[in-house]
Amino acid sequence: MAQVSTSHRGNALNYSSIRKLLPYAKKAIESGVKVIKLNIGDPDLKTPKEFLNVLQNWDIDPIRYAQPAGEPELIKALLSYYHDCGYIDLSAEDIIVTIGGSEALSMAMFAVADIGDEILVPEPFFANYSILASQLSIKLVPIPTSIKNGFRLPNKKKIMGLINERTKAVLYSSPGNPTGTTYNEKEITMLLEIAKEKGIYLISDEVYREFIFSDDKHVSLVPYMNKYPNNLIMLDSFSKRYNLCGARLGMLVSKSEKVKDIVLRLANGRLSGGLIDQMMGAALKDVPKKHFVNSTKELKKRRDVVINNLKKIKGVKTYVPDGAFYLMVELPIKDAEDFSRFLLEEFRIDNTTVMLAPGKGFYLTKNKGINEIRIAYVVNSAELKKAIDIIGKGLEAYTG
Amino acid sequence: MAQVSTSHRGNALNYSSIRKLLPYAKKAIESGVKVIKLNIGDPDLKTPKEFLNVLQNWDIDPIRYAQPAGEPELIKALLSYYHDCGYIDLSAEDIIVTIGGSEALSMAMFAVADIGDEILVPEPFFANYSILASQLSIKLVPIPTSIKNGFRLPNKKKIMGLINERTKAVLYSSPGNPTGTTYNEKEITMLLEIAKEKGIYLISDEVYREFIFSDDKHVSLVPYMNKYPNNLIMLDSFSKRYNLCGARLGMLVSKSEKVKDIVLRLANGRLSGGLIDQMMGAALKDVPKKHFVNSTKELKKRRDVVINNLKKIKGVKTYVPDGAFYLMVELPIKDAEDFSRFLLEEFRIDNTTVMLAPGKGFYLTKNKGINEIRIAYVVNSAELKKAIDIIGKGLEAYTG
């Protein structure tokens, strides 16, 4: 009887590094310890009631397939949202609704890159970029950035030096996960020049687009799509913006006919996204603009609480990010993963501890980010203050 | 300025062949013609109210991520359903919830096959198998079957002859789409022997498992999983069974630890399925068993209406399928796609026409199925009778 085996590419897929800590967190919680979770980007704010109302008033029966590229009502609402953002040249056919931002990313990468092709991405980056690229046998090539200057992009020459004949795109998130770093117009313009000169794509992950804390506006790729119709793809999602993580509602926006044609074939291949999620998303038209004013104000307050309290801890280095709800922190120790485990296993204040995301999970380059952590400020200010205090006292206990 | 290009694999993806007819159907409808749609498997029956009640009573806020492998409540309800089916050895950890049957299929193929590997599949088969395999650079190799004997499987020797060192699995659907053909225990046992002897996987698509019209029970792979834990994967979905096509609720069931490990990594890569769909699916526990009794009775009635009326048309050949809600029909003409277009463009009775799925869309082998159509009996008996009458009179007009 012959032996049966699984695929090499399947066995090459990584789990996220956060996963390693889960058993320790579970054990702590089961033993009655309170764990403040700063490790994942699942915001605690409420879903706007306009969306929930759609469920409570549901009347479509049977729950039929949705249109492969998205329900027209949802696309209409999205178009209106983007027009309000000032992207007046966008049309309904430039928007394809996907099953979460994850699917939008996967489809975009598939559309531009073949097996063995390369996509540049500023490092550190969202760990799932790696997993999705690896599924598609695409090689991600890091553009190095550093906590020392708040993870700004390097200059054009340095980026150009990373491009070869297999490079098909630069993928980036701004405001960034895990950094919160928000690229300014100068940085985006540089990337546009590179894409144009080298004949490659820019793929922007803009899911944190509304969470900007400076006076500068978010610099989106969309307004540049008329000038560079063939080079640009924007990825977006309802998840973070409307506290709708579990509604799998992503969008791929492009004016490239060739890209959209491939993405539509992919969308046909999986038949339909979720009809309920999409009809719920269409209520976007009823959500008041002040939703973002309130949530951004709250997030900015939290960011400041985190930074002001981190400043009190000796040897900790960070910076002031302009967006999203993350920041990276350098700790005065060798191994932040070991420290994170220490917090979960051994260290408590008032029977409370903290779960962190080890920085190295956001780096593809070996030995980078080992002494860094990512903090997601997805709990309220009082909890955050307590959490940072635990990190500070925990560092003393860990190193002392 | 360099030219930007899309991926070769993207451009190699096919659209479904049904797509070609859509503009003609649209034009007919816009001109006021009634089009009876027998071309897609989107059932017209209602969604059980137990599911819709979950929406109307929704109280989870915010809409958080679902567990990557599925919400525990849903898995519990599924386990109970499978236990009721008699699969008493199944455990909760053998079930992974996916975003529709499509994702379950894609994940299963990824887990067992590398780039360039082969998967055997009885032909004709569901067109999306091709699209999903092509996305993964997996080669589907047809196992030829024929309308002459109702698309039964060929003998063991013939199937063994198609297997080489790159063959990783046999994938099949039973009851089948597009044939309605339902494999008996002898056929399944043969496939099990082949899998065992050759060290390959069997992947069964059982989404039509409850729609069986003979006295024989559905033969599932699940009861064999204890004996062959490393070779078997079962794919399932709520879509057809509960008229929930737009709720993307699929399942992958296996006892292979290696397969489940890879599938879990894939599930982590896309973070979460839809929370709302999954919580709705958990209401499965409240759906009365007679749901299937009623819908199967209705489908059997429709099947008989289709077959009895097809018999009246000269030169038409078909067979009596035992399950699902499809059958293939051989027409006494050369090109069934051209005939389908003719119906949509030119032929009407009482200002009504019919939309069919051309058979060749379900064949990978060139020049096969050209004179066949698939009928999905997803409209009521009166409409079906009218539709078959239109096909018969249409054939006279087309050939006359």
Q: Give yes or no for B102 touching A (CB within 8 A).
A: yes
Residues of chain A contacting residue B266, judged by C-beta atoms under 8 Å apart? 10, 13, 135
Alpha carbon of B209 to those of A295, B30, B212, B215, B241: distances in Å? 47, 37, 7, 14, 8
Under DSSP, is residue A192 helix (H, G, I), strand (E, B) or coil?
helix
Cβ contact, residue pair B56, A51, below 8 Å = no
Looking at residue B293, its pLDDT comes to 87
Looking at residue A99, its pLDDT comes to 98
Alpha carbon of B365 to those of A36, A289, A366, B155: distances in Å? 58, 55, 47, 20
- 3-class SS string, chain B: CCCCCCCHHHHCCCCCHHHHHHHHHHHHHHCCCEEEECCCCCCCCCCCHHHHHHHHCCCCCCCCCCCCCCCHHHHHHHHHHHHHCCCCCCCHHHEEEECHHHHHHHHHHHHHCCCCCEEEEEECCCHHHHHHHHHCCCEEEEEECCHHHCCCCCCHHHHHCCCCCCEEEEEEECCCCCCCCCCCHHHHHHHHHHHHHHCCEEEEECCCCCCECCCCCCCCCHHHCCCCCCCEEEEEECCCCCCCCCCCCEEEEECCHHHHHHHHHHHHHCCCCCHHHHHHHHHHHHCCCHHHHHHHHHHHHHHHHHHHHHCCCCCCECCCCCECCEEEEECCCCCHHHHHHHHHHCCCECCEEEECEEHHHHCCCCCCCCCEEEEECCCCHHHHHHHHHHHHHHHHHHHC
Residues of chain A contacting residue B50, judged by C-beta atoms under 8 Å apart? none
pLDDT at residue A300 greater than cutoff 70? yes
pLDDT at residue B45 greater than cutoff 90? no
Look at the alpha carbons of A77, A82, A88, A94 in this order and tell me if their dihedral is positive or negative: negative
Distance CA A237, CA A248 (A): 8
Looking at residue B43, its pLDDT comes to 77
Give residue-wise pLDDT tens across range A180-200: 999 999 999 999 999 999 999
Look at the alpha carbons of A27, A32, A36, A41 in this order and tell me if their dihedral is positive or negative: positive
Cβ contact, residue pair B269, A245, below 8 Å = no
Burial of residue A191, with CB atoms counted within 10 A of its CB: 0-12 exposed, 13-18 middle, 19 or more buried = buried
Best CA proximity match to A313, nearest among A399, A376, A374, A383: A399
Say if residues B377 and B302 touch (Cβ distance below 8 Å). Answer: yes
User: What CATH number was assigned to the domain covering residues B10-39+290-399?
Assistant: 3.90.1150.10
Sequence-distant (≥ 6) Cβ neighbours of residue B116 within 8 angstroms:
B137, B138, B139, B166
Q: Tokens 């009861």 sit at which residue?
A: B223
Sequence-distant (≥ 6) Cβ neighbours of residue A8 within 8 angstroms:
B114
- Out of B65, B197, B200, whose CB is closest to A246? B65
B11-30 residues touching A, CB cutoff 8 A: 11, 13-16, 19
Cβ contact, residue pair B7, A113, below 8 Å = yes
- Out of A11, A16, A272, whose CB is closest to B246? A272
| CB burial string B12-34: b at 16+ within 10 A, e below | ebebbbbeebeebbeebeeeebe
pLDDT at residue A142 greater than cutoff 90? yes
Looking at residue B86, its pLDDT comes to 95
Phi-psi region of A243 (alpha: psi -120 to 50; beta: other; left: phi over 0): left
Q: Minimal Cα–Cα distance from B399 to chain A, Å? A: 34
Best CA proximity match to B53, nearest among A59, A136, A344: A59
> What are the φ/ψ torsions at residue B233 (nearest 5 degrees)?
-135, 130
Which two structure tokens, joined as six digits, stand for A294?
Answer: 């309130």
Q: Minimal Cα–Cα distance from A246 to chain B, Å? A: 4
By C-alpha distance, the chain B residue nearest A64 is B246
pLDDT at residue A160 greater than cutoff 70? yes
pLDDT at residue B193 greater than cutoff 80? yes
Looking at residue B382, its pLDDT comes to 97
ipTM score assigned to the predicted complex: 0.94
Q: How confident is the model at residue A138 (pLDDT cuts 50, 70, 90)?
A: very high
B41-80 residues touching A, CB cutoff 8 A: 42-47, 51-52, 55-58, 61-66
Sequence-distant (≥ 6) Cβ neighbours of residue A224 within 8 angstroms:
A188, A192, A232
Q: How confident is the model at residue B183 (pLDDT cuts 50, 70, 90)?
A: very high
By C-alpha distance, the chain A residue nearest B136 is A136
Under DSSP, is residue A374 helix (H, G, I), strand (E, B) or coil?
strand
Say if residues A167 and B4 touch (Cβ distance below 8 Å). Answer: no
pLDDT at residue B203 greater than cutoff 80? yes
Residues of chain A contacting residue B256, judged by C-beta atoms under 8 Å apart? 4, 6
Distance CA B281, CA B75 (A): 9
Looking at residue B272, its pLDDT comes to 93
Pairing type for strands B232-237 and B201-205 reads parallel
pLDDT (average), residues A235-260: 96
Domain formed by A11-40+290-399, architecture: Alpha-Beta Complex (3.90)
- Out of B6, B272, B277, whose CB is closest to A112? B6
pTM of the entire predicted model:
0.95
- Out of B7, B47, B261, whose CB is closest to A110? B7
Task: Estimate the crossing angle of helix A336-345 against helix A22-30, to 10 degrees.
Answer: 20
The CATH fold assigned to A49-286 is Aspartate Aminotransferase; domain 2 (3.40.640)
Which two structure tokens, joined as six digits, stand for B288?
Answer: 């009365």
Give residue-wise pLDDT tens across range A386-400: 999 999 999 999 998
Looking at residue A176, its pLDDT comes to 97
Which two structure tokens, joined as six digits, stand for A263?
Answer: 């993405």
Give residue-wise pLDDT tens across range B91-121: 999 999 999 999 999 999 999 999 999 999 9
Q: What whole-number percentage of chain A has pLDDT above 70?
A: 99
Looking at residue A1, its pLDDT comes to 60
pLDDT at residue B302 greater than cutoff 90? yes
Residues of chain A contacting residue B106, judged by C-beta atoms under 8 Å apart? 270
Distance CA B25, CA A66 (A): 18
Give residue-wise pLDDT tens across range A307-350: 999 999 999 999 999 999 999 999 999 999 999 999 999 999 99
Which two structure tokens, joined as six digits, stand for B39?
Answer: 């071309």
Distance CA B246, CA B40 (A): 14
Pairing type for strands A118-123 and B167-173 reads unpaired
Cβ contact, residue pair A64, B245, below 8 Å = yes
Domain boundaries, chain B: 10-39+290-399, 49-286
One-letter amino acid for residue A162 of the chain: L
Give Cα A23 distance to the centre of its chain.
24
Say if residues B142 and B123 touch (Cβ distance below 8 Å). Answer: yes
pLDDT at residue A19 greater than cutoff 80? no
pLDDT at residue B15 greater than cutoff 80? no
Looking at residue A239, its pLDDT comes to 92
Looking at residue A17, its pLDDT comes to 67
Looking at residue A122, its pLDDT comes to 98
Q: Which of A119-128, A210-219, B15-24, B380-389 has the lowest mean pLDDT?
A: B15-24
pLDDT at residue A359 greater than cutoff 80? yes
Cβ contact, residue pair A280, B276, below 8 Å = yes
Give the mean pLDDT of chain A: 95
Say if residues A373 and A316 touch (Cβ distance below 8 Å). Answer: no
Cβ contact, residue pair A113, B44, below 8 Å = no
- Which string of DSSP letters, residue by residue, matches A318-361? -----BTTEEEEE-SSS-HHHHHHHHHHT--BTTEEEE-EEGGG
Distance CA B110, CA B103 (A): 10
Burial of residue A381, with CB atoms counted within 10 A of its CB: 0-12 exposed, 13-18 middle, 19 or more buried = middle
Give residue-wise pLDDT tens across range B333-349: 999 999 999 999 999 99
Looking at residue B19, its pLDDT comes to 73
Looking at residue B17, its pLDDT comes to 67
Distance CA A118, CA A162 (A): 10
